[in-house]
């Protein structure tokens, strides 16, 4: 499942974060402080999607996108005000 970081203020966007090749499998462990700061400073709901490194890049990208979409769907069902927020992608 994706890790979610919320700002204290009302969010203005989603940020989809994908970590580095070997640490991307556990974003909270390796990026927690950075991602919480990113959520605060950018007034964003940060969704950090874990992924397993693979040489099948298309399948890896599709799986990460599907996890992100599922998380956004769950969050917008729970917080309807977030339904039309823009999405920014960030990677390391």
Neighbours of 53 (CB within 10 A): 11
Grade residue 81 by pLDDT with cuts at 50, 70 and 90. very high
DSSP secondary structure of 19-85: --TTTTT-HHHHHHHHHHHHHHHHTEEEEE------S-HHHHHHHHHHHHHHHHHHHHHH-GGGTT-
Tens digits of residue pLDDT in 17-76: 998 777 778 888 888 999 999 999 999 999 999 888 889 999 999 999 999 999 999 999
| pLDDT computed for residue 62 by the predictor | 94
């Amino acid at each position: 499942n994706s890790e979610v970081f919320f700002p204290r203020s009302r969010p203005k966007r989603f940020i989809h974060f994908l970590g580095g090749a070997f640490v991307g499998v556990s974003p909270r462990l390796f990026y927690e402080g950075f991602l919480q700061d990113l959520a605060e400073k950018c007034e964003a709901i940060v969704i950090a999607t874990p992924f397993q490194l693979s040489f099948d890049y298309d399948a890896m990208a599709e799986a990460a996108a599907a996890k992100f979409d599922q998380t956004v769907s769950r969050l917008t069902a729970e917080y309807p005000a977030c339904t039309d927020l823009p999405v920014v992608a960030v990677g390391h």
